[in-house]
Amino acid sequence: MNLLTKSKYLYGLQCPKLLWVAFNGKLPEAGKATQHVFEEGHKVGELAKSLYPGGIDISAEDFLANIRETKELLKSRKPLFEAGLKPGDIFARADILLPAGEHEWDIIEVKSSTEVKDINLHDLSFQKYCYEQDGLKIRKCHLMHINNKYVRSGEIDPSGLFISEDVTEEVEKLIGGVKERVEGMFKTILLKKCPESRIGPHCSDPYDCALTEDCWSHLPDNNVFDLYRGGKKCFELYEEGILSLRDIPDGFPLNAKQEIQKDCEASGKPYINKEGIKDFLATLQYPLHYLDFETFSTAIPLFNGTRSYQHIPFQFSLHVVEEGASKPVHISFLADGKGDPRKEFLSRLKAALQDKGSIIAFNQSFEIGRLKELGEAFPEEKKWVEAVIDRIVDLLQPFRDFHYYSPKQRGSASIKRVLPALTGEGYDNMEIGGGEDASLAFLDLMFAGLGKDEMARVREDLEKYCGLDTEGMVLIVEELRKMVGS
């Protein structure tokens, strides 16, 4: 049976190829990051149920059993969780189905996001259509989402954590087209061959498509989608049949940085603005403190004084260079994963940083943001935090300003691209290769119940990753100095 669920309906809205493969092929397995998002959503959904005491959880995994239970429990006129109905070949389960009056019901969709999104309205329109096709009278549709201003104090207060918005009017505007869209999707599902689908903004809107790697595999290295902050220009070029940066025609409107990128691609050589690099290096004062933070965030705040999705710092790496010829000294901190790490993090950071010299970060806004939050959380350290922030220098600046650009960067000024382009060092073959990986690894230390050996391995991987970030900054500055002979 080709059963169109609401998740597959949303696939169909995003891309016909994605819909067809979901029914006739096999979608790639969700990665760890995506799985984490699912798990966070499940936790949020479970907490939302506590707002409706006396509600009944329809736990049957099999959709036919779920439908049978739903039909029976609708008679109870109690809040129902995961109530499913199947009129014909469509099927939807509402997070919360709430009795309204004598004969009507309200649908409440619970999301772990912090705002109402268009895709949520399409989600609800499909649910409402499905329920009404099966004879249920739906009065209102609500979207319940996270209140990102809620600050935890003691046990989580679900009434404070969630905001419920009446989106009935918006859903009604969409529901008129659901029948036609469903019919079109079944025509797609029944095709004998996978439909062609050109790449476009829909590949990452509203979600990163599971088929992106396959659909984008025909693009060459340094393609038009690597154009620095290219936005719509990338798709304009692609639609004109231009795939490579080197093939962008003269006269196509590019800004100064994009022109540098195009020229570098044509020559195969980096662009170097020595005066700009010298000006940047002149801002650095010894001793140099190369600093990087790692953080995690969760939908439901874990600690008192924190908000949903607040970045909680759990690790720092610091390389200190006392003077020009000095060998860097490495200092690091990694929390034990047994509670709120912020106080010890701040204490250890304060002990590690000297009271003079530049503090060098790559993309300083992130570290500054975390420091400000720490200053708010621990007011007794606010003056010290402010003094530290005043000393921060952003190593991103010479690369964001294109004082140096290499074709190897592929349009990015991130340290993940700059470091290998400049030094040959990089993050390949590391167990943890990015900030998101580090965050998930630390959450494993906190909650996954790892054995002693596995825990030691994860901690070692975290130390290597964060340590490379600051060691890499040392190497980058050394290379910049060589370029300009300083």
Angle (CA) 32 34 40, round 5°: 100
What whole-number percentage of the chain has pLDDT above 70? 100
Of 348, 437, 421, 362, which Cα lies nearest the Cα of 392?
362
What whole-number percentage of the chain has pLDDT above 90? 93
Are 95 and 131 within 8 A, CB to CB?
A: no
Average pLDDT over residues 12-33: 94
Q: What is the pLDDT of residues 329-386, one digit of tens each?
A: 999 999 998 899 999 999 999 999 999 999 999 999 999 999 999 999 999 999 999 9
Amino acid found at 61: E
Q: What is the pLDDT, as a whole number, of residue 371?
A: 98
Mean pLDDT of the chain: 95
User: Does the pLDDT value for residue 390 go beyond 90?
Assistant: yes
User: Does the pLDDT value for residue 20 go beyond 70?
Assistant: yes
Average pLDDT over residues 87-110: 95
CA distance 458 to 46: 29
User: Does the pLDDT value for residue 195 go beyond 90?
Assistant: yes
User: Does the pLDDT value for residue 61 go beyond 80?
Assistant: no
Q: What is the pLDDT of residues 201-212, one digit of tens each?
A: 999 999 999 999
Q: Which residues of 340-377 are buried (b: 16+ CB within 10 A; e: fewer)?
A: bbbeebbebbeebbeeebbbbbbbbeebbebbebbbeb
CA distance 105 to 99: 4
CA distance 478 to 425: 13
User: Does the pLDDT value for residue 151 go beyond 70?
Assistant: yes
Q: What is the pLDDT, as a whole number, of residue 429?
A: 86
In the chain the domains, ranked by start, together with CATH numbers, are: 4-189 (3.90.320), 221-255 (no CATH), 277-484 (3.30.420.10)
Q: What is the largest CA-CA distance in the chain?
A: 82
User: Does the pLDDT value for residue 102 go beyond 90?
Assistant: no
Q: What is the pLDDT of residues 202-254, one digit of tens each?
A: 999 999 999 999 999 999 999 999 999 999 999 999 999 999 999 999 999 99
HSE toward the beta carbon, residue 57, CA cutoff 13 A: 9
Terminal alpha carbon distance of the chain: 71
0.85 exceeded by the pTM?
A: yes
Q: What is the pLDDT, as a whole number, of residue 457?
A: 96
Q: Using the structure block, give the residue that is written with the tokens 């999301």.
A: 111
Q: What is the pLDDT, as a whole number, of residue 220?
A: 93
CA distance 139 to 384: 55
User: Does the pLDDT value for residue 31 go beyond 90?
Assistant: no
Q: What is the pLDDT, as a whole number, of residue 448?
A: 86
Collapse the DSSP code of 266 into the 3-class scheme (helix H, G, I; strand E, B; otherwise coil) and give the result: helix
What lies within 8 Å, CB to CB, of 45 at 6+ separation is 95, 110
Q: What's the helix, strand, coil split of the chain in %, to 5?
A: 50, 15, 35
For the CA atoms of 128, 131, 15, 202, the dihedral, rounded to the nearest 10 degrees, stands at 20
Q: What is the pLDDT, as a whole number, of residue 432?
A: 92
Q: What is the pLDDT, as a whole number, of residue 226?
A: 96
What lies within 8 Å, CB to CB, of 463 at 6+ separation is 317, 332, 334
pLDDT band at 325 (very low <50, low <70, confident <90, very high): confident
Are 289 and 362 within 8 A, CB to CB?
A: no
Q: What is the pLDDT, as a whole number, of residue 1?
A: 65
User: Does the pLDDT value for residue 118 go beyond 70?
Assistant: yes
